[in-house]
Structure formats: C-alpha cells, structure tokens
Structure 1
Amino acid sequence: MRRLTIRPLAALTALAALAAPALTGCGTQTGGGPAADPASDGGTVRTVRAQHLLRLTQTHEETGMTLLEGPTFGEDGRLVVVDVTAPAGEPKVWSVDVRRKTSRALHTDDRGAYTSAQFSPYDGRLYLTDFAHGDIVSLAPDGGDPRTFFSGEVDGTPMNPDDIAFDREGNLYVSDSRGLTEGVSQGRVVRIDRAGRKATVLAVGLAATNGISFDTGHRGLWISELTENRVSYLRLDGEGRVTSRHTALRVDGGIAQTDSIAVDADGNLYQALHGRPAMAVYDRHGERLATVEVPARDAKGLESATNVAVTPGGTRAYMTVSGPAGGHLYTFDALAEGIRQSNGG
C-alpha cells in the first residue's frame, strides 16, 4: 500500500493514486467448505466466508477515500485500527470493542499518514509507522503522550516505513517501501534497536516492501513485496542479521497485490490482498490452504483487505477491509490460534 515528502498532502495524493484502481482475531463460525479452486498441489482451496462486524469509517471528503490498516489487540482486549488517509482533525487511530461492536477515537494529529500499528513487548507502547514522513511514532496505550521514536535517513536515504515486526527483545524490523511510486525494486528491510538510536539496513532490492512478520520461532522474516506479488523469506542469525534470502511464494493475485502479512501459531501465513476484499492463506511450505472472502453482496463496495489480527490465544480473526463503501471490520475463524506475529504489524 502505499515516498517521503515534506508535504503530507503530496504523500496522501501518492497513496490515493496507487489505491485508486483498487479502492473506487475465539470464535466458532467458519464459512463454506472446500471450494472448487485448485490448489498448487492439485487439491482444493477452502473458502472461508468472513462475517461483517461493523463499519468504522466513511470515505473522507478531503482525501477522497478511507483505508483501514494495522489491527492489533491491546492488553485491555480492545482492537486498535488506523485509518491511513484520515485528514487532520479526524480520528487516525481507533479503539474498537469487538464484543460490543462499538468504537472510539484514540488519536489524531495534523501530520501523520499511519499505515500500521503494533504494541511493543519492551515498553508496552503503541508504535505507528508514518509513511508520509518516514517517522515512527509511539503512543501510550490510551492514545496519549505522542513521541517521535525514530526519524531521519537510514544509510543516507529516507524511509517510507509501512509495517513493523518486533523481536522478543523489542527491537523493530520495518518494511521500507521505497520505490513504490516508481515501480522499481528499491525496497528495504530496516532494523531499529529498541531505544531508537541505531538503524541498520538488513536487505535491499525488494519490490515495494509491505508486509513483515516473524515466523513462529523467530528464525526468519516473511516479507511481502507489493509490486511483484511475491513473499520472500529472510533467514536471520542470533544477532538479527540476514543470512539468506529466497522467494518463498508467488501469489496469483490477478488485479490484486500483496499487502500486509500475518502468521498464526501453526505457522500459517495470512496474505492480505490490496485490490480485492480477500486474504490468501498458505502453510509455511507454500501450500495454498484457504481464501478468506467477504460475502458476495458486500464485495462491490469493498475492494481491499489490508491486514488481519487474530485474537491472542484464540482463533477469532478481525480483518480490515475498505473501499467506496467505507472502512469495515470483518471477522472469521483463523486456522490456528493468534500469537504476536498475528497481532498487528
């Protein structure tokens, strides 16, 4: 989804230009059975029908769109969601009570275009990526006390931070989606120490780096590359450095592109699709297991599923879906329990 620029409006225009063609998670409900779609091994891909939970936002007159992202559960059990294109003064971070189906504004400002959210295991604060300015901002869990955690160039080049994955010690691994507007492979993966003082480039030459998530053992990172519709795997050593890299998946998305990515307790990958209100689910060996879809009656006005959070310790999943009909939350049963890697980013 989604170049550092001095003017937020210019960044939002770039976001809208990209999104225009595509934009005009313990439960018991799962939908459907095996679908007729063939899997890569000759089997079948199950279709999971997501159920509507609530509409969170409407299209903003100022920006011409709304785009929900970054669902993540806080310790209070509430789901935090960001609206990438919310204008100044309107809620840019929301807190949602998924049981009561109610929401309240958590944070707004006159600057940020936030594309992801995740709570740090180190200090418990909520971290947001500001794609428009290359910053990473943190908030208190209640949405107050905003701080700029990291800002500036990395190896002489500004970032376009998209998603975040935390390691066990609280260091950040950031997908830097450079080259998005040019369609060239300038994307990076950047590691920032938990104090925000040292930034290290771990990988370069990626195609608009978007989703990022650790595998279940923290031995490597799954990275989705938006403009190539592929998922790469970066193996790490004990110091958090990349020792090898390979293409792990090629996603047959058609008009849709690979957006954010999440991993459940069984190591399954949930690949969000920018340009279709659906997610593709794979096992760690690359076998396509399922497609999560919204009901057909809703699909016309909802054209992008950007991310998912699976309830920690449970299987109920919450998917952010947006389009001309507004920004919505849909819910479904994940294939396995939620862990940190399936809770934000």
Structure 2
Amino acid sequence: MRRPTIRPLAALATVGALALTGCGTEAGGTAPEAADATPGGPPHTLQAERVMRLTEPHQETGMTLLEGPTFDEDGQLIVVDVTAPAGDPKVLGIDLEAGTARPLHTDDRGAYTSAQFSPHDGRLYLTDYLHGEIVSLAPDGGDPRTFFAGEVDGAPMNPDDLAFDPAGNLYVSDSRGLSEGEPLGRVVRIDRDGEQATVLADGLAATNGVSFDADHAGLWFSELLENRISYLKLDAAGAVTSRHTAIRVDGGIAQTDSIAVDAAGNLYQGLHGRAAMLVYDRHGGHLATVELPTDHAGLESATNVAITPGGTTAYLTVSGPAGGYLYTFEALAEGTRQSNGG
C-alpha cells in the first residue's frame, strides 16, 4: 500500500464520523476470459471490468484508499479503507453475489493498510501503519485485540503488508523511512504468539508488498522507492539463507505496491500512480499487464488483489479522487493463501 502523506494519516485520530457512502453501487458483470500468457513471449493484456464502487473520498481526510482484499471462509470479500476517519467503516465486507457491502469494523485510531486471516487462530489480522501495531479481529469484525506493538530492534515499525507461514507466524513489510525518503525499511518476522520479533532484512527503501512464493521456500517483497522486487530464501525455521534483487520494475511515474502470488508461482505486482497491475513469472518474465477500461478517470492506484481460493477470478482494489472501486479479471492460475490478502 502506498500511504498518503503523514499529515492526513495523523488527522485520522481526531476527525469526526461520516456515514458510509457508495456501498453496493455500480454492480458489474462477470470477469472476462484471461489471455493465454506464455512464458518467454510478449506480455499480454488482462482486461479488468468494474464490479462496484465501495467508497468516496472522505471529507475529513480528503481521500479514500482501498487495500488488503481477502476472502473469509464464507466467500465474503473483506477490504480495508486506509484513510477512513473515526466512525466511518475501516473494514468492509462485500457480498459479491448481491453486489453489496457492509461495515465490519471502525475505531477512532487505526490506519489499516492490509488484512489477512491467520491459519493458526482464524482471526483477521490488520496492520496499523500509523501506530506501528498489528491488530486482530474476530471473523465478524468484532473483539478487537492488539496482537503486537512496540519497537523492534530499538526502532518503531510502520507495518504495511503481511503474510503468514503455514504455522501462523507473521512476516511484515515495515515501511519505516518512507516520509524521510531514507532506506530504513525492514522485513520483520513475528512469531504467532506475538512474543518475539526478528528483523530478516533491513536497509530497504520503503518496504511494501510481501508474499511467500508458491512452496513457502522464500519471500518476495517490493520496495516502493526503488521500484524493485527482491527475494529472501528461508530455511525451515524461517531464517534467511540468501537475499537478492529479483525484478526491476519499469514503472515510470508508478511505484511498486502490494504483491500476491498464485498457485503457479506468478507474482501480481500492484502499482501506485497507475491504475494497473503487472504480472511476472517466478523467473522475472513479464507475462501480462492488468488494465482497466478507458473510462477510469480519477482512479490512480491499483494496490492489491485477491484471487478466489481454488479459482481464477481475481478482485482488484483501485482508488483515486473518483473513489474506491473493486474491479475483476481472470488470473493466470488459481488462488491460494498467498493470493488472498496481505
């Protein structure tokens, strides 16, 4: 997630409540068929179609920013609105069949930048970028708990995205240093009980997306200020055995945002500054670009994607001055835990 400036985020703790607007509007049709992206061939275009508008820019913060799409066990799609003020829904549940959305959670404090369900306890985990915390909720959005807070190796976090290993340990992209433009970012591992935090990589330029590869042998992560994707190879205990730059993204004015990985190991790289998503194979080949229809004025970022578990229908969160929208397209392979939130 590309955070807005610190000033509007800091205002989130004190602004008043607004009614939810835009939910359940502009329902769209089914996703188009995917192009046959062939490894080694030229990249294809995957055409996305609008599903619905979820939010409008908030009066208090001047913006809306959707992130963290993830499916619950009942097939409900859950997203977060990073810049929602106190009183407005910060976590939304979407009934895709009915084309409606409902508020699941709000509070007077958090600025949530990602969401994912834990395989350990089944709760929904959220990263609070502004306060450096990880918060968990019951699947219905209730029972909020602070899972982790405080400094890691003597420095506070700005947690952005997260991924879980099969045992339920968390791997967090710490985007520290973004506002200063300094390489202070990190990748942090937090054990599933929230008792021990370990820095796996540091010196990063605003770490953003993070996701395991298809077989949990390593982590992909993106750096917003360098437009690159790197790979951390891990051992069975979650310790780093090697690290290298894997893909250099030619984004132009756009920057690398969140990452998802499908069952074939393909990477879906979100973009801030362009309403599109790039798809790479695990060897760095550019397979496809997800593009919106030409009538998407006022939409500037395609932050993240959730691919239906066991299916290929993908849902993309897109935001800008026109509001927060959900788009759909056909992914190149089936969805797994690594393409479902974070």
TM-score by length of 2: 0.91
Determine if the alignment matches structure 1 residue 92 to structure 2 residue 90: yes
Q: How far apart are residue 79 of structure 1 and its match?
A: 0.3
Q: Which has the higher contact order (CA 8 A, sep 6+)?
A: 1
Q: How far apart are residue 7 of structure 1 and its match?
A: 10
Match of 1:58 in 2: 56
Match of 2:229 in 1: 231
Match of 1:2 in 2: 3
- Which runs of 5 or more structure 1 residues have no equivalent in the other structure? 13-26
Q: Which of the residues 145, 151, 154 maps onto 2:152?
A: 154
Change (3 A) 1:240 1:11: farther
Change (3 A) 1:293 1:28: closer
Q: Which of the residues 118, 128, 138 maps onto 2:136?
A: 138
Q: Is the 8 A contact 1:31 1:50 kept in 2?
A: no
Q: Is the 8 A contact 2:34 2:332 kept in 1?
A: no
Determine if the alignment matches structure 1 residue 295 to structure 2 residue 293: yes
Match of 2:32 in 1: 29
Which range is displaced more, 183-192 or 109-118? 183-192
Which portions of structure 1, spanning 4 or more consecutive aligned residues, are displaced by more than 6 angstroms? Answer: 31-34
Alpha-carbon distance in 1 for matches of 2:35, 2:256: 24
- Which runs of 5 or more structure 2 residues have no equivalent in the other structure? 14-29
After TM superposition, the structure 1 = structure 2 runs for residues 40-79 of structure 1, keeping only pairs within 5 Å, are 43-79=41-77
Match of 1:19 in 2: none
Determine if the alignment matches structure 1 residue 305 to structure 2 residue 338: no
Q: Secondary structure at 2:225's aligned position in 1? A: helix
Alpha-carbon distance in 2 for matches of 1:340, 1:40: 23
Percentage identity across paired residues of the two chains? 72
Alpha-carbon distance in 2 for matches of 1:8, 1:270: 27
Q: Secondary structure at 2:230's aligned position in 1? A: strand
Determine if the alignment matches structure 1 residue 125 to structure 2 residue 128: no
Alpha-carbon distance in 2 for matches of 1:49, 1:249: 23
Aligned residues: 325
Alpha-carbon distance in 2 for matches of 1:146, 1:328: 26
CA RMSD across the alignment = 2.1
Q: Match of 1:306, as an amino acid?
A: T
Q: Is the 8 A contact 2:49 2:327 kept in 1?
A: yes
Match of 2:318 in 1: 321
Change (3 A) 1:8 1:327: closer
Alpha-carbon distance in 1 for matches of 2:120, 2:300: 36
Q: Secondary structure at 2:10's aligned position in 1? A: helix
Q: Match of 2:285, as an amino acid?
A: E
Alpha-carbon distance in 1 for matches of 2:7, 2:209: 25
Alpha-carbon distance in 1 for matches of 2:314, 2:39: 25
TM-score by length of 1: 0.91
Alpha-carbon distance in 2 for matches of 1:10, 1:47: 39
